[in-house]
Amino acid sequence: MNMITNHLPTAELQALDAAHHMHPFTDANGLATKGARIITRGKGVWLTDSEGNRIIDGMAGLWCVNIGYGRKELAEVAARQMEELAYYNTFFQTTHVPAIALAAKIAELAPGDLNHVFFAGSGSEANDTNIRLVRRYWQVKGMPEKRVIIARKNGYHGSTMGGGSLGGMAPIHAHGGMIDGIEHIGQPYWWGEGGDMTEAEFGLLRARELEDKILELGVDKVAAFIGEPVQGAGGVIVPPATYWPEIQRICDKYGILLIADEVITGFGRTGNWFGSQTFGIRPHIMTIAKGLSSGYQPIGGSIVCDEVARVVAEGGEFFHGYTYSGHPVAAAVALENLRILQEEHIIEHVRDVAHPYLRERWEALTEHPLVGEAKLVGLMGSIALTPDKAKRAKFASEAGTVGFRTRERCFANNLIMRHVGDRMIISPPLVITPAEIDILIERAKTSLDESYASLKADGLLVAKAE
Ligand SMILES: *Cc1c(COP(=O)(O)O)cnc(C)c1O
């Protein structure tokens, strides 16, 4: 037996992990002292760790395992494709059947005239492609100075230099800097930043920052705006209903390109194929990854509208591409994932069954003394933890202290629920059943109770001074 199927005891694995494996977004010191949790199996919405615990995955991995774990069909498709053609590239006028079939399928599913797909290996890579695509578009149109991309504070667009620069997260910018030509405006986060305004007023105010920024820079300098229909990694920030229509109006008025980063919201997460459909957004480009393959293979891409594809093609060769653009195994697996999403009516399940069932229970969490607002779009949700709901107060402790403590209680109760600052977020596999939702909610309530008791004991239920 090899080391993966017949593995060492947990403590020894953890020691090797800490010694040799550099983890993304992890405090390495914590790893050395506490050891990482080792996940060994997955089936449906359930994970098993190396100690045999059964964990309900409230995050679908990293927002990606839309069809759930352990689907044999995808393994079979991968094995077949590896035997037939394990690899070939799509550079220099070559192609292969899986890339062709997947591009055609995505074009069929995507709304409007989003009919062209440029493949990448991940969401970050796809957003790097988008930076180059929109700048190239304006260059071919004879306006090379139109190259600034406007994005949002606390947005997340990946972790490459391009993706990290588009994202609006200061800690990421602090580690390695940013590329040039990216500007950030405020986020539509009413609970945290809306003050005395109504949600509707605040949504308009934040959208109009786009217009102010365009006018400040000069429209002849601005190439595009990028945003997630619902900010995911930023804390599942659901924008007020007034926000996207106003962003759309402004993009239309000034003729700038609109990029919807659908890496999380694509492929059923919001109860439609794409978040743009849920929010009435008409993007020129969509970024996709995660749910495209339900995480069974690394693959991402940009879905591009007719006009942008036509202009870029007019410019001749586009000097851009990845060795693994449209990788045949990843493409074949993604195609099988889309077949399952469609034929098993998983998006209808989200819209008609799982969302309404979870919504009632999720919103009822606001009865808990620690919980302020509860938001749920499709199957992506968040709750704001607060010491004083009426004032939408923050905690006096350093931001994230309470969220981290609550996440630790969830982990101890075999529920994976992440924290972003003092918000708790979920994004379970789309196939979650009502019975599993009951378990998720029970474990969430227990964790909130335990967290509340420990915060109380430590005198941490204190609001920050205004
Ligand atoms: C995860 C994510 C990305 C980055 O995707 P990777 O595959 O991790 O590179 C980009 N945009 C959004 C909205 C994401 O959630």
Answer yes or no: are the C-beta atoms of 268 and 346 closer than 8 Å.
yes
Nearest ligand 1 atom, CA 231: 13
Report whether pLDDT(6) > 80.
no
Whether residue 207 is predicted with pLDDT greater than 60 in this model: the reply is yes
- C-alpha 17, offset from chain centre: 26
How far apart CA 371 and CA 385 sit, in angstroms, is 5
Confidence of residue 5 (pLDDT cuts 50, 70, 90): low
Q: How confident is the model at residue 30 (pLDDT cuts 50, 70, 90)?
A: confident
**Is 167's pLDDT higher than 70?**
yes
Average pLDDT over residues 306-312: 98
pLDDT at position 451 is 98
Q: What values do phi and psi take at 192, rounded to 5?
A: -90, -25
Residues 308, 292: Cα–Cα separation, whole Å: 22
What residues does each domain of the chain span?
44-67+345-457, 73-343
Name the pLDDT band for 53 (thresholds 50, 70, 90): very high
Task: Average the pLDDT over 436-441 and give the result.
Answer: 98
- What integer is the mean pLDDT of 377-393? 97
CA of 54 to the centre of ligand 1 (A): 27
Q: How many angstroms is it from 66 CA to the middle of ligand 1?
A: 15
| Strand 300-305 relative to strand 114-120, pairing | antiparallel
Atom of ligand 1 nearest to the CA of 261: 13
* The pLDDT value given to residue 58: 98
Atom of ligand 1 nearest to the CA of 265: 13
In eight-state DSSP terms, residue 365 is G
Q: How deeply is 176 buried, as exposed, middle or buried, from its count of CB atoms within 10 A (0-12, 13-18, 19+)? A: exposed
For 199, list phi and psi in degrees, rounded to 5: -60, -40
Residue 165 above 80 pLDDT? yes
Answer left, alpha or beta for residue 70, where phi above 0 means left and psi between -120 and 50 means alpha. Answer: left
**What CATH topology corresponds to 44-67+345-457?**
Aspartate Aminotransferase, domain 1 (3.90.1150)
Ligand 1 atom with the shortest distance to the CA of 62: 1
How many angstroms separate the alpha carbon of residue 260 from the centre of ligand 1?
Answer: 12
pLDDT by residue (tens digit) across 97-156? 999 999 999 999 999 999 999 999 999 999 999 999 999 999 999 999 999 999 999 999
Distance 65 CA to ligand 1 centre (A): 14
For position 3, what pLDDT does the model report? 60
For residue 1, the model assigns a pLDDT of 42
Mean pLDDT of all residues belonging to the chain: 97
Question: Nearest 5°: phi and psi at 287?
Answer: -90, 135
The answer to whether residues 350 and 430 touch, using CB atoms and an 8 Å cutoff, is yes
Question: Average of pLDDT values for 195-199?
Answer: 97
pLDDT tens for 349-367 read 999 999 999 999 999 999 9
For residue 380, the CA-to-ligand 1 centroid distance in Å is: 15
Q: State pLDDT tens for residues 373-383.
A: 999 999 999 99
Ligand 1 pocket, Cβ-based, cut-off 6 angstroms: 122-124, 127, 156-158, 163, 228, 232-233, 261, 263-264, 289, 300
pLDDT category at 69 given cuts 50, 70, 90 is very high
Q: Which residues contact 436 (CB under 8 A, 6 or more apart)?
A: 44, 45, 56, 428
> Strands, E, within 182-340: which ranges?
182-185, 222-227, 257-261, 285-288, 300-305
At 188 the pLDDT is 98
> What is the Cα–Cα distance from 10 to 413, expressed in whole angstroms?
19
CATH 3.40.640.10 fits 73-343, yes or no: yes
pLDDT single digits (tens) 265-279: 999 999 999 999 999
Predicted confidence band of residue 28 (pLDDT cuts 50, 70, 90): confident
User: Which residue has a Cα nearest atom 6 of ligand 1?
Assistant: 123
